[in-house]
Amino acid sequence: MTPLALRSTPDSPTTPVVVARLRADRRARNRRASVTASVLAVALLGLTTASVLLGGIGRLDPADVLPAAFGLRDGLADYMIFQLRMPRALSALLAGALFGLAGSLYQRLIRNPLATPDIVGISAGAGAGAATALLYAPAAFSLGVPAAAVIGSFVLVAAVQALSWRGGVDTYRLVLVGIGLSAVCTAYTNYLFLVADQQSLAIALRWTVGTTNDADWDGVTTLAVGFAACALAALFLARPLATLTLGDGFAAGLGTRVTASRVGVLLVGAAAAALATSVVGPIGFVSLVSGPIAVRLVGTERSTLLAPAIGAAIVLGADVLAQHAPLISPVPTGVLTALLGAPYFVWLILRRRQGAS
């Protein structure tokens, strides 16, 4: 029998009730999203402040700290705050935002929480390209390494798509192909390290762990411009992405250019992960956990908007702990994100296997 809500006409007394419930539900979801975004904004501000102030500023005049953060002081205040700590804090924040955005785009497009850039090999491809430029063109670091990382990620996107295509993209096959290609890229990167000179090798090894120790304003500029471009592209692709999550048939029926939209989302996610990797290294598992946390907080529709803030909070918080946590500091930021993400990854695989059985 057809439900009453579906049989009601515009003049039916049930229609205003249904409309009122839908509006109330929408207002509740909007209110929850606003509260969550406000809490994240406060958390990011607090973490940024902690990153800048922790570690000792006793030799500075307190009145110089805030102006120095905007480059309005010179001497010791300028060096400690503006030249060292602000680039590190902003690099962690922007890189985390890019990782979070990339992970959410891939998870929504492929409809699989395992299909993130670091799991399916995109980050490994970006790392291989960046390592090539870092070892053999170090003078062009400000431009050459990000460009090489983006090229490497795009090559991996093409390879993963081509090798996992069998009349369509099967997500399980895509993940397996990505893991295999990630191993190939890792082997290539290790070979580069074996033949590199000692000075270049020391720089590259610190970078491959994932760290913000060498952050500078050139890297911040790269990340800021990259995030702005990727965020705008993601907003432009938001409607096609929403239809693609319904399946290719439904998306095509709604007028979406399926192939072009899918390729666009894949390239935007790859570029976001590659730009973050080129500056701070392949900080693992941030892309994996940011999207699911955002989905639990605000739902699938708004998750791509919130995932960058969650990724930023994860990387920035991990960086603060990497610098100042007792007993373990100082350690590279990527070590702490791996400690967070690896157990989650194992739990996710076990949960999906139990669901399948």
- Residue among 87, 66, 106, 127 nearest 283 (CA): 127
CA distance 80 to 56: 10
Q: Give per-residue pLDDT as tens, 224-263.
A: 999 999 999 999 998 888 888 777 777 778 777 877 888 8
256 CB-contact burial (10 Å; exposed 0-12 / middle 13-18 / buried 19+):
buried
Per-residue pLDDT 10s for the chain (357 aa) are: 444 444 444 555 567 777 777 777 778 788 888 888 999 999 999 999 988 888 766 677 777 788 888 877 777 888 888 888 999 999 999 999 999 999 999 998 888 777 788 878 888 888 888 888 888 765 545 567 888 889 999 999 888 888 887 766 666 787 788 889 989 998 998 888 888 777 777 777 777 778 888 888 988 999 999 999 999 999 999 888 888 877 777 777 877 787 788 888 989 999 999 999 888 888 888 988 898 889 888 888 888 889 999 999 999 999 999 888 887 778 888 888 888 777 877 777 777 666 555
Q: Which amino acid, one-letter code, is at 147?
A: A
Is the distance from CB of 252 to CB of 207 less than 8 angstroms? no
- Residue among 98, 59, 95 nearest 80 (CA): 59
Is the distance from CB of 96 to CB of 317 less than 8 angstroms? no
DSSP assignment of 46-77 = HHHHHHHHTT--TTS-HHHHHHHHTT---THH
Three-state SS for 348? helix
What six digits make up the tokens of 167? 């009349």
pTM for the full model? Answer: 0.86
Q: Beta-carbon neighbour count of residue 194 at 10 Å?
A: 7
